[in-house]
Structure 1
Amino acid sequence: MKKLLYILFIGIAIQSMSGQDLKPEYQKFVKKFIDNVKNDRKEAVAEAIKFPLKRDNPIPSIKNKTEFVKRYDEIFDAKLKAEISKSNAAKDWSEMGWRGIMLNQGTLWMDTDGKVFSISYQTKAEKDLKTKLIVAEKSKLHPSIAKFEAPEVILETSKFRVRIDDLGNDNFRYASWSIKQSMSEKPDLIITNGKWFHDGTGGNHHYDFKKGNFLYQCYITVLGTKDSAPATLTIYQNGKEILNQEAKIVPR
């Protein structure tokens, strides 16, 4: 629930923020993008996408232009195409400082180089695909962790594989194995009642899991420097750090 409230808060904050008038040079590539979507020029639209284009977990990210064209209809349905096609570059697209340029209330985000880096809208096709993928994923897991509402993230450090799932009602589960084990095997450690916390406005966040006098913290970097690790696993005992390892996020 806390995670949902934060997302709602960000949405309200975006609505209340006064976006800057879109500069003429930005309007130029926005108008081109609108025209390409309106006329279903899939290859031309692909040229305006920044890859990889992330989709809602566990739907795989779109890695390149070829894959984007193949999955175009999965992302751009009639409703989204209509919203983009009917939009006015000067009135419906806003420059939001370092965040980039957004369509309406954040349906789509574009950087100041004219590249789309986020499409928050989700079609029925993607929703159905997400459900199908979650069912398939559950069948491959050890029975002890096969029940969850939605998958969150899988991390791999040099020693551990960590899986975090959303169990619903602001309850997250931590499961870990040695790096050589598969997730079809029984986890070495399972912790429930974990909590999700946002860190700033750039999307960075972390999860806390407590077991006895131990705290397991998984930090996810969304907006960082070129040297930032995608994620880190830190373990504390009685408030003292006893392990800190950089982690990669396993792609879907």
Structure 2
Amino acid sequence: MKKIKIICLFLAVFSNNFIESQNLKPEYKKFIELFIENVKNNRIEAVADVITYPLKREYPVPEVKNKTEFLKRYNEIFDNILKNEIIKSNTANDWSEVGWRGIMLNQGTIWMDTNGKLTAINYQSKFEEELKKQIIGSEKITLHASITKFKKPECILETAKFRIRIDDLGNENYRYASWSIKKSMSEKPDLVLFDGKWFQDGTGGNHHFEFKKGQYVYECYITPLREKGAAPASLTIYLENKVILSQEAKIVPQ
């Protein structure tokens, strides 16, 4: 009976996803097919025209600020692997509308809004991977000696009161370091927390980190896919399950 339930659940999920992708509105299919053709025929200007700027890249790789910068960095982002995934896709099977979040390719490699603007690319080329390593090496020189050891940086957030840095220490262990907003990261952090956890929130790149210290819980949410006007990040601190601080945050670009 358990096996039958699992099979039925799989079929239900598969059917829902299939129906959802089949039911893309004609106007959505039209701009997606045009985007695919533009990538296929290397029409970089046309691709640049549908990008929503700034285009976020995986931290600490700098975001793409505008069309001019995108044209220069196109081949760094759209390598053969990404282009092939786009070119081989079709609107019937590979693109799905996901409510207010927009339309995604496969499991969220590309996100577009319902106006045909590309809002996110959740893919990192080999070039960007190497660039990330170089930036991390340079960045460590500017940090306080107590926090220079980490596998990779995750993000830097700024609220009205705090500057927060989250680093991946490896083995699913994240570190939280914070300063008052007026302090530099070259100074000793006011608070350092270890053993943080990362949680994925959907397939659009949204996620959050959770850190604990005694009865306190610190949560940092990162929301690249969000409703219009919402903050890109937030900090919430709980004491015995009660919110004692909640602040919107901005993500500091590299």
TM over 0.5, shorter chain: yes
How far apart in 2 are the matches of 1:235 and 1:105?
31
Contact 1:171–1:195 (CA under 8 A) maintained in structure 2: yes
Question: Against the structure 1 CA distance between its residues 111 and 184, is the aligned structure 2 distance closer, same or farther, given a 3 Å change threshold?
Answer: same
CA distance in 2, matches of 1:40, 1:217: 42
Task: Choose which of 96, 120, 123 in structure 1 pairs with 2:122.
Answer: 120
Which structure 2 residues correspond to residues 133-212 of structure 1 after superposition, within 5 A? Answer: 133-199=135-201, 204-212=206-214
Q: Structure 2 stretches of 5 or more lacking a match?
A: 1-12
Amino acid at match of 2:96: E
What is the identity, as a one-letter code, of the residue corresponding to 1:128? E
* 1:17 counterpart residue number: 17
Q: Distance in 2 between matches of 1:138 and 1:43?
A: 37
| SS at structure 1 position matched to 2:171 | coil
* DSSP 3-state at the match of 2:220: strand
* Unaligned ranges ≥5, structure 1: 1-12
Q: Number of aligned residue pairs: give it.
A: 239
Deviations 1:56-113 (A, max 9, x none): 111112121111101001011223323333444x445423342433334443222222
Among 129, 132, 135, the residue aligned to 1:130: 132
Deviation of 1:51 (Å): 1.9
Does the 8 Å CA contact 1:14/1:105 hold for their aligned counterparts?
A: no
Identity %: 62
In 1, Cα distance between equivalents of 2:203 and 2:88: 30
Q: 1:146 to 1:45 in 2, by over 3 A?
A: same
Query: CA RMSD, aligned part only?
Result: 2.7
Q: Whole-Å Cα distance in 2 between the matches of residues 15 and 186 of structure 1?
A: 54
Indicate if the aligned counterparts of 1:92 and 1:103 stay in contact, CA closer than 8 A. no
**Is this contact kept in 1: 2:21–2:94, CA < 8 A?**
no
Give distance in 1, aligned partners of 2:80 and 2:61: 20
Q: How does 1:71-150 map to 2 (within 5 A)?
A: 71-88=73-90, 90-98=91-99, 99-150=101-152
Cα separation, partners in 2 of 1:179 and 1:29, compared to 1, 3 Å? same
* Contact 2:107-2:203 at 8 Å conserved across structures: no
Q: Structure 2: which amino acid aligns with 1:107? A: T
